Amino acid sequence: MPLDERALFNDKPETRPGRYQCPKCHRTNDYSIRWVRRSKKDRLPAGADEVDRAKFAKLRDYLLRLDDQVACKTCGKKFEIPSQHSLVFVDQLEGLPNEEELEREINVASGEAEPEPERKPALPARFTRKSTGWK
Tens digits of residue pLDDT in 45-80: 787 888 888 888 888 888 899 988 999 998 889 999
Note down the domain range covering 91: 5-98
User: Would you say residue 119 lies in a domain?
Assistant: no
User: Would you say residue 28 lies in a domain?
Assistant: yes
User: Would you say residue 94 lies in a domain?
Assistant: yes
Q: Is the pLDDT confidence value at 2 over 70?
A: no
Tell me how many degrees the CA angle 94-91-8 measures, rounded to the nearest 5: 140
Which burial class, exposed, middle or buried, applies to 63 when counting CB atoms under 10 A from its CB (0-12, 13-18, 19+)? buried
User: Would you say residue 129 lies in a domain?
Assistant: no
- In the chain, the number of structural domains is 1
User: Would you say residue 89 lies in a domain?
Assistant: yes
Cβ(44)–Cβ(53) under 8 Å?
yes
User: Would you say residue 133 lies in a domain?
Assistant: no
- Pairwise pLDDT comparison (127 vs 89), residue with the higher score: 89
Q: How confident is the model at residue 114 (pLDDT cuts 50, 70, 90)?
A: low
Tens digits of residue pLDDT in 5-45: 778 888 999 988 888 889 889 888 899 999 999 988 888 87
